[in-house]
């Protein structure tokens, strides 16, 4: 996997140099494992007392736990676009669910492919268009480990990037060893209402987390069998929160936007290490590029922000994982767009900024009702409504799901589940003003017009024809699986 000192990637008339590090040493492979709707709390290594995740726990033990990782959106499509592009959702255009980026936008798949990498994705895509994400689809079905093995072993002289995009533990939680968890013996998390329906759903959810953990174990065995483990950077990400009420999906709570993240790089990242530094999904692409010897500052993303900057929104955290520094970001940001989510009732744009202790949330249309079918029509939520008929405290708790003031401020150190809004408390006025200013600056830089951006969301979704076209092109890509296959060859 040695590369020449003078190797230069050329794509569409632009170039970026490879660093001396990449020339002098073998460039690593990259295995990026992305879960599907997994709350960061629901792993053995992050403190869940019931669910068993030995393979994911081992990955954390072998490398660094990035406990301050956050996604900039609590739905699948915008968070994955941000992960692969290094750009926040509104800037790239991929801010509603089932989205697409602006046509000229480039991604990690483009940058690594054009520097000599083999790039592939297994299973769930949820990004568009193909030109921005030109990976080969590895395997025709989920858990096609024979296809993954072939991808890894195809050319021992060529480094690779593989995204293993699991479909677990996405609801309805039907995979995994159903029956392993006795609902009556589970410890119900404090943010959930405890009743038989909640317990039965938790048992199914935990079983599907076991299915995910088994996938991680099989990937680990495959790396060992192919003798690529020691030259592979492995990053596990939990995506966003679960679909339980207060589980986090579709919300800007920490259950929704905080991410379980574990990175292993044998010989470079200290085992059993941990950092609480704030990091975002948009930082992953520039980090991988720097690990591959590409200077992130030389990249033109193809998607300028509102101030004219063409570089990443993210920045490399290589120094963080190698121990060169213990700080990264002062603030992280996130947005949620209700328009375009299946079963939404009314537009409900939300924005937030968070530092190491405080979070400010803006609900831009608080007069509307926050309603998402996946939450409000679930069997768990309906069972809570039934119980609330005789429980006033539960009624108030349920109301917090749907009704929010224009501004919320939370002290996460003393209120980790965000139940006490201190936005009107004069003791915290300085924090509110400081965070509000940061959020204003971020929205301006992103070209985020708030309500107008929300109302325009459907125009940013990829339609059925787009998805069908892209699926065909991703499948065709593995027939032309060589460095720098051309789009026109497979259209």
For residue 106, give the nearest of 301, 310, 316, 315 by alpha carbon: 301
Rounded mean pLDDT, 69-91: 98
- The first and second tokens of residue 310, run together, are 């063409």
For position 354, what pLDDT does the model report?
99
- Does the pLDDT at position 211 exceed 60? yes
Average pLDDT, the chain: 93
pLDDT band at 484 (very low <50, low <70, confident <90, very high): very low
Q: Cα 296 from chain centroid?
A: 20
Q: For residue 378, tell me if it sits in a domain.
A: yes
pLDDT tens digits for range 111-148 = 999 999 999 999 999 999 999 999 999 998 999 999 99
Q: For residue 225, tell me if it sits in a domain.
A: yes
Rounded mean pLDDT, 34-57: 98
What interhelical angle do 196-225 and 54-62 show, nearest 10? Answer: 50
Q: For residue 10, tell me if it sits in a domain.
A: no
Question: Based on the structure, what is the number of domains in the chain?
Answer: 1
Rounded mean pLDDT, 190-209: 98
pLDDT tens digits for range 359-418 = 999 999 999 999 999 999 999 999 999 999 999 999 999 999 999 999 999 999 999 999
Q: For residue 17, tell me if it sits in a domain.
A: no
The total of other beta-carbon atoms located within 10 Å of residue 450's CB is 15
pLDDT tens digits for range 93-115 = 999 999 999 999 999 999 999 99
Q: For residue 486, tell me if it sits in a domain.
A: no
Q: For residue 189, tell me if it sits in a domain.
A: yes
For position 18, what pLDDT does the model report?
55
pLDDT band at 357 (very low <50, low <70, confident <90, very high): very high
For position 24, what pLDDT does the model report?
34
Distance from C-alpha of 171 to C-alpha of 182, rounded to nearest angstrom: 19
pLDDT tens digits for range 142-194 = 999 999 999 999 999 999 999 999 999 999 999 999 999 999 999 999 999 99
Quote the domain boundaries for residue 288.
Answer: 28-475
CATH number at residue 265: 3.40.720.10
**β partners of residue 65:** 262, 274
Q: For residue 198, tell me if it sits in a domain.
A: yes
For position 26, what pLDDT does the model report?
83
Least confident residue range of 233-242, 316-325, 469-478: 469-478
For position 476, what pLDDT does the model report?
86
Least confident residue range of 77-86, 335-344, 469-478: 469-478
Signed CA dihedral, 170, 174, 175, 178: sign only = positive
DSSP labels for 23-82? HHSPPPEEEEEE-SS--TT-STTTT-SS---HHHHHHHHHSEEETTEE-S-SSHHHHHHH
To which residue do tokens 């690990």 refer? 291
Which percentage of the chain shows pLDDT scores above 70? 92
For position 489, what pLDDT does the model report?
37
Distance from C-alpha of 485 to C-alpha of 425, rounded to nearest angstrom: 59
Q: For residue 20, tell me if it sits in a domain.
A: no
Helix runs in 226-280, H state only: 254-257
- Does the pLDDT at position 491 exceed 80? no
pLDDT band at 25 (very low <50, low <70, confident <90, very high): low
Task: State yes or no: cis peptide before 369, omega within 30 of 0.
Answer: no
SS3 215: helix
pTM of the model: 0.93
29: left (phi over 0), alpha (psi -120 to 50) or beta: beta
For position 477, what pLDDT does the model report?
83
For position 475, what pLDDT does the model report?
87
Least confident residue range of 2-6, 165-169, 324-328: 2-6
For position 467, what pLDDT does the model report?
85
Residues 6+ apart with CB under 8 A from 31: 162, 164, 219, 223, 232, 233, 234, 235
DSSP labels for 133-172? S-PEE--SSTT-HHHHHHHHHS-TTS-EEEEEE--TT-TT
**β partners of residue 473:** none
- The first and second tokens of residue 71, run together, are 């996604």
Q: Which residue has the higher pLDDT, 228 or 472?
A: 228
β-strands 358-363, 407-411: how paired? antiparallel
Least confident residue range of 75-79, 119-123, 180-184, 467-471: 467-471
Distance from C-alpha of 150 to C-alpha of 142, rounded to nearest angstrom: 15
For position 483, what pLDDT does the model report?
41
């Amino acid at each position: 996997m040695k590369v020449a000192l003078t190797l230069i990637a050329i794509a569409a008339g632009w170039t970026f140099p490879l660093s001396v590090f990449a020339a002098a040493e073998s460039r690593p492979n990259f295995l990026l494992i992305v879960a599907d709707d997994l709350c960061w709390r629901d792993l053995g290594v992050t403190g869940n007392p019931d669910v068993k995740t030995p393979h994911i726990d081992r990955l954390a033990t072998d490398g660094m736990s990035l406990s301050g990782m956050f996604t900039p959106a609590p739905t699948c499509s915008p968070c994955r676009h941000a992960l692969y592009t290094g750009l926040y959702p509104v800037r790239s255009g991929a801010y509603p669910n089932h989205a697409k980026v602006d046509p000229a936008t480039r991604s990690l798949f483009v940058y690594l492919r054009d520097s000599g990498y083999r790039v592939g994705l297994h299973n769930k895509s949820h990004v568009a268009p193909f030109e921005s994400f030109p990976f080969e689809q590895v395997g025709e079905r989920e858990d096609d480990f024979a296809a993954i093995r072939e991808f890894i072993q195809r050319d021992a002289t060529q480094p690779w990037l593989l995204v293993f995009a699991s479909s677990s533990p996405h609801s309805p939680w039907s995979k995994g060893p159903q029956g392993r968890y006795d609902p009556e013996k589970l410890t119900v998390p404090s943010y959930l209402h405890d009743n038989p329906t909640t317990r039965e759903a938790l048992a199914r959810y935990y079983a599907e987390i076991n299915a995910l953990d088994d996938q991680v174990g099989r990937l680990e065995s495959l790396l060992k069998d192919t003798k690529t483990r020691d030259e592979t950077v492995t990053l596990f990400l939990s995506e966003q929160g679960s679909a339980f009420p207060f589980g986090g999906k579709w919300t800007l709570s920490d259950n929704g936007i905080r991410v379980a993240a574990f990175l292993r790089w044998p010989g470079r990242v200290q085992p059993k290490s941990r950092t609480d530094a704030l990091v975002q999904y948009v930082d992953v692409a520039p980090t991988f590029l720097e690990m591959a010897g590409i200077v992130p500052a030389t990249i033109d993303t193809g998607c300028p922000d509102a101030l004219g900057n063409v570089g990443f929104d993210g920045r490399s955290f290589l120094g963080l994982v190698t121990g060169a520094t213990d700080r990264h970001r002062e603030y992280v940001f996130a947005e949620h767009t209700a328009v375009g989510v299946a079963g939404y009732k009314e537009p409900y744009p939300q924005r937030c900024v968070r530092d190491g202790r405080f979070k400010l949330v803006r609900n831009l249309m608080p007069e509307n009702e926050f309603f998402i079918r996946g939450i409000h029509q679930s069997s768990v939520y309906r069972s809570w409504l039934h119980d609330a008929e005789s429980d006033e405290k539960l009624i108030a708790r349920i109301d917090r799901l749907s009704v929010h003031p224009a501004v919320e401020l939370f002290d996460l150190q003393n209120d980790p589940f965000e139940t006490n809004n201190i936005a009107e408390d004069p003791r915290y006025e300085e924090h509110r003003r400081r965070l509000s200013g940061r959020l204003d600056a971020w929205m301006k830089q992103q070209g985020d017009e708030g309500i107008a951006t929300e109302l325009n969301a459907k125009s940013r979704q990829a339609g059925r024809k787009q998805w069908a076209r892209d699926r065909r092109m991703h499948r065709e890509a593995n027939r032309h699986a060589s460095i720098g296959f051309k789009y026109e060859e497979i259209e």
